[in-house]
Amino acid sequence: MNAAWEELLAAWLESLRRRHLSPGTLAAAERWGAMFARLCDIHGAAPAAVEPSHLVALQRRLREEAGPGGRRYAPASIAQALQQVRNFVRWLVERRVLLIDPSAGWVLRRCVSSPGQVLTVAEVTALLQAPDTSVPLGLRDRAVLELLYGTGIRRGECCALDVQDVDLSHQVLCVRRGKGQRDRLLPIGETLGDVLNDWLQRGRPHLVRRDGETALFVSFLGRRLSAPAVVNLVRERAQQAGIEKLTPHALRRTFATHLVERGADVRHVQMLLGHQNVDTTQAYALVELAELRREYERTHPRAARTARKAPTSPFPS
């Protein structure tokens, strides 16, 4: 790859980093952008001379040639590659490196992939009942599972939570610096509130080993719970419940699916999930939270409190 392509690719990636995109998105942009730049370089095309034929050549290569490991590229990978390359090309047009957009009129067919694993309500119930809540680690695992299914947050967001992010008196969870570095407020269902309170009152104090620890969830060593630990936690508890190969993201998917199946407005589900295409609504989070809570309580299977009385919240109003 010649210096001109390297310089422009680096500048494009830096512009994406300033937008606080996820590491996965940045890695995909770098991978496919570099592939396209190398292909153009092989064809002798400078950045200012990219033509539609070079995009066609990329499509052909992705569909006909093998990728790393000798396997053909999956349809989802091809769709991701073409989208990232189009973004790169449009950035070149915005920077006036290209005077005419070679991707104009380029129709990208959306890849319809498998919806992935979604648990039934019965399977969720079995999963949540798997931990032994007579011991601190069981209380923690139950709280983590209830939180992932009860709010749909990402595993990284779960690990980053501090105790101060949970306001049980107002039944609100604050997810700080989620994907795209955006904050959002989420309603806490009554069942989830009870479980979190049990963890904070009866479990966490037995595991925290140093003053000033702010993490909501900690390991048996008293340190902030890591993302790999959450993956292992979910997998192990799922195996106890007779569920194979469960991941934290499957619980996020299950959360969204169950809401939609019960009539939740897709716009509300997108807000709860924190998807980027509705980030402008987060500026009105305090106004929207009441509406989100009503929709959440109406449609989430575990929004209602269980039969037992909720413990008194340790947090001041």
Span 180-197, pLDDT tens digits: 567 888 999 899 999 999
Residue that has been written with the tokens 């109406």 in this structure: 298
Is 73 part of the annotated catalytic residue set? Answer: no
In whole angstroms, what is the distance from residue 123 CA to residue 127 CA?
6
Q: Give the per-residue pLDDT at 115.
A: 56
Residue that has been written with the tokens 């999963």 in this structure: 127
Q: Running along the chain, 317 residues long, what does each successive block of 10 average in pLDDT?
A: 88 90 86 93 91 90 80 84 92 92 76 67 94 96 95 91 93 79 83 95 94 93 93 95 91 86 78 62 39 73 58 38
Q: Give the per-residue pLDDT at 105.
A: 76
Q: Which of 31, 176, 182, 249 is catalytic?
A: 249
Is 284 part of the annotated catalytic residue set? Answer: yes
Q: Which of 252, 253, 258, 302 is catalytic?
A: 252
Q: Give the per-residue pLDDT at 225.
A: 94
Is 252 part of the annotated catalytic residue set? Answer: yes
Q: Which two tokens stand for residue 160?
A: 């980053």
Helices (H), 204-265: 204-207, 227-240, 248-261
Q: Which two tokens stand for residue 292?
A: 């989100």
Q: Give the per-residue pLDDT at 73.
A: 84
Q: Give the per-residue pLDDT at 181.
A: 62
Is 63 part of the annotated catalytic residue set? Answer: no
Q: Give the per-residue pLDDT at 284.
A: 28
In whole angstroms, what is the distance from residue 157 CA to residue 139 CA?
19
Report CA-CA distances (Å) from 1 to 17, 47, 59, 101: 22, 11, 19, 22
271 neighbors 277 (Cβ within 8 angstroms) = no
